[in-house]
Amino acid sequence: QVQLVESGGGLVQAGASLRLSCAVSGRTFRSYNMGWFRQTPGKEREFVAAVSWSGSPTTYADSVKGRFTISRTNAGNTLYLEMSNLKPEDTAVYYCAAGSGWPLTQAANFQSWGQGTQVTVSS
């Protein structure tokens, strides 16, 4: 288990950019796969992006390919989600997660979760 704290969410206009951060801590935080998921009321938690513990491969949901970029610091203590050309349908609570399972597109393969950060995109 690791501790995760998201930040960087906010209210932006469609077409804007935003960077989410996830502070990662714990004795073995560097050895975990990392991912971003999002959830809106009435919908299942949706996969957004993930990166393996080794830094590759990265994986993206089709809905965000070309717009979002996931990355992590070399030390593994910070996970980022760079979001560009935001759309109203991107509005959700975004969660970072750490895990050791596969595939990385499946939430069940992540064991530790942050509290989430709200991203709201207006038209």
Question: Which pLDDT tens digit goes with each residue over 93-115?
Answer: 999 999 999 999 999 999 999 99
Backbone torsions φ then ψ of 77, nearest 5 degrees: -95, 0
Euclidean distance between CA atoms 115 and 5, whole angstroms: 7
**Residue 28 phi, psi (nearest 5):** -125, 35
Structure confidence by residue, pLDDT tens digits, 42-74: 999 999 999 998 888 899 999 999 999 999 988
